[in-house]
Structures are given as structure tokens and as C-alpha cells.
């Protein structure tokens, strides 16, 4: 209520104001102030409720967004696990049946064997016993079924070299050449030492064996962990000699049984280094 009385004269449409008595003005002023004071708490309460509602709406929206993002993330992870990863191999894998079959793995602990450390003498020794009959060559019936190219022809069928025994042959050859040259040097026979040295420099078989063994070792990829040895004098352990270390190996007994069953037994040679 405004503290004025307003009258409207319809003839000239000009409003005019009439003064109000002081007592009435004071009464009206008190009524206005009283009404303002009574209405103020109601206005503040309404504003507070609106603020709470707004805050609740914001919290609800944020909670919904968080929940939705978690659900989407879980669904995406599940779909990613179901989806196979597309990859292109460097070369087309060769699907072959294995003519040998499964060779079981066994745990072998490497130990020092003096018989294999002795110098080469030309006599039959422990190294010679590593080669089975046929010097590592075996018969493979129906070799094309295994994706093999033509083997070496014999009157009894095609034969193939087993890589393991090719590797042992190469190691035996290098061993023979090393000790032969060392013996010539140790005996003072310079002419024989020079002759042997020149012979091996021109021998392509020697270079072949070094490279073949390199690739064989990389192919096998033995990742067994080796720790330093215990020194006899109790000094700090620094040297790794590889002994007393367990390795996962193919069963030698199973390999030997296969070789004895399928060996080409008409070979004229039984020297590991030939």
C-alpha cells in the first residue's frame, strides 16, 4: 500500500493527490514496516529452498553422469576383450604335421662333465657316442604329408637330417679343429700349425658351422636364469659358470628312442666330425 490516496477525474484524465493526515501517515508507515518484516522471513526461506533444490539437481546430474561413464567404460572393456586383435604376421605361418611327435620336457641341472672337456685325440670318446646310427639321418615315411621337400634318396626311401645332430656334428668339427691347431702350436711344429691354420681359413665348412650353431642357439632361446657360483675360498660371488642351474630341456631319452627306431643304418661314417 502506497502512503498516498489517488483520485482520478474522468473529465480531464489528470490524476491529483490529496495530502494525508500525519496520524494516518504514521499509522500507514507502521503497517508497511510491520508487513515488510513479516514477509521477509518467508522470502528468505523460499530462496533457501530453491538453492537446496538446485544443489540437489546438480548433484543428481553429476551422479548420473558418473554412473553412466562407469557403465560405458565397463561395456567398452568387455567388448574389447571379446574382439580379437587384428595383426598381420610377417610371413604366412607354415602349418605342418610333426613327423617326430611330442617330445616331453624335463628339468635338467647342468653339471661339469670332464669326459667332454678333454682334448681331441682322434680316438673314440664321449663325443662320438652322441651320434646315433646313421649320424643323425632318419627315414620319414610319406614325407610330403609333413610338408617336407624331397629328401636324400636311398634304396629304402628318403632320409632327412635331424637338426639337433647336425648341430652336434658342427660342434664336434670345431672341437677337432681347435684342438688339432692347439696341439701343433704346443708341440712347436710351426709348419704343421701354419698348414692347419691356412686349411681352416679356406674351409667353408668351418664358417658354415659357426653360423649354423649361432642360429640354432637363437632358435632354442634358452632363457634360464643363472646365478654366480659359490667360490671355494668364500670370496665374493662374481663369476657365472652355468653349473648347478636347472633348465627346461627336451627329453634326451625320448629323442634317442626316436632316432634308434627311425635311423638310416647304412651310413659308412661314424665320426662325429665328418
Q: 195 pLDDT band (50/70/90 cuts)?
A: confident
Q: 49 pLDDT band (50/70/90 cuts)?
A: low
Q: What pLDDT does residue 101 have?
A: 87
Q: What pLDDT does residue 32 have?
A: 44
Most confident of 50-59, 92-101, 147-156, 262-271: 147-156
Q: What pLDDT does residue 238 have?
A: 87
Q: Which residue has the higher pLDDT, 77 or 136?
A: 136
Q: 79 pLDDT band (50/70/90 cuts)?
A: low
Nearest one of 144, 150, 157, 128 to 274, comparing CA atoms: 128
Of the listed ranges 21-35, 38-52, 109-123, the one predicted with least confidence:
21-35
Q: Which residue has the higher pLDDT, 142 or 35?
A: 142
- The pLDDT of 235-247, averaged and rounded, is 93
Q: 46 pLDDT band (50/70/90 cuts)?
A: low
The string of DSSP codes covering the chain is: --S-EEEEETTTTEEEEE---HHHHHHHHHHHHHHHHHHHHHHHHHHHHHHHHHHHHHHHHHHHHHHHHHHHHHHHHHHHHHSPPP---SS-------SS----EEEEE----GGGTSPP-SS--TTGGGSPGGGGEEE-SSGGGGT----EEETTEEEEE-HHHHHHHHHHHHHHHHHHHHHHHHHT-HHHHHHHHHHHHH-HHHHHHHHHHHHHHHHH-------PPPPTT---------TT-EEEEE-HHHHHHHHHHHB-TT-S---TT-
Is pTM, for the whole model, over 0.75?
Answer: no
Amino acid at each position: 500500500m502506497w502512503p498516498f490516496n489517488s483520485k482520478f477525474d474522468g473529465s480531464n484524465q489528470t490524476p491529483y493527490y490529496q495530502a494525508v493526515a500525519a496520524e494516518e501517515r504514521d499509522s500507514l508507515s507502521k503497517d508497511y514496516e510491520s508487513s515488510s518484516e513479516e514477509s521477509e522471513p518467508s522470502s528468505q526461506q523460499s530462496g533457501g529452498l530453491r538453492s537446496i533444490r538446485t544443489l540437489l539437481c546438480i548433484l543428481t546430474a553429476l551422479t548420473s553422469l558418473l554412473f553412466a561413464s562407469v557403465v560405458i567404460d565397463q561395456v567398452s572393456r568387455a567388448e574389447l576383450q571379446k574382439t580379437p586383435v587384428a595383426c598381420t604376421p610377417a610371413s604366412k605361418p607354415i602349418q605342418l604335421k610333426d613327423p617326430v611327435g611330442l617330445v616331453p620336457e624335463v628339468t635338467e641341472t647342468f653339471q661339469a662333465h670332464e669326459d667332454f672337456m678333454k682334448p681331441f685325440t682322434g680316438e673314440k670318446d664321449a663325443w662320438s657316442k652322441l651320434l646315433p646310427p646313421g649320424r643323425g639321418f632318419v627315414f620319414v615315411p610319406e614325407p610330403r604329408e609333413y610338408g617336407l621337400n624331397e629328401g636324400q634318396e636311398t634304396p629304402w626311401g628318403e632320409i632327412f637330417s635331424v637338426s639337433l645332430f647336425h648341430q652336434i656334428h658342427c660342434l664336434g668339427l670345431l672341437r677337432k679343429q681347435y684342438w688339432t691347431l692347439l696341439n701343433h702350436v704346443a708341440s712347436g711344429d710351426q709348419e704343421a700349425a701354419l698348414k692347419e691354420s691356412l686349411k681352416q681359413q679356406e674351409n667353408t665348412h668351418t664358417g658354415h658351422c659357426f653360423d649354423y650353431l649361432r642360429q640354432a642357439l637363437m632358435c632354442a632361446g634358452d632363457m634360464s636364469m643363472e646365478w654366480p657360483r659359490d667360490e671355494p675360498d668364500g670370496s665374493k660371488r662374481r663369476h657365472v659358470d652355468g653349473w648347478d642351474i636347472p633348465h627346461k630341456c627336451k627329453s634326451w631319452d625320448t629323442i634317442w628312442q626316436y632316432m634308434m627306431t627311425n635311423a638310416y643304418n647304412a651310413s659308412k661314417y661314424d665320426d662325429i666330425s665328418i
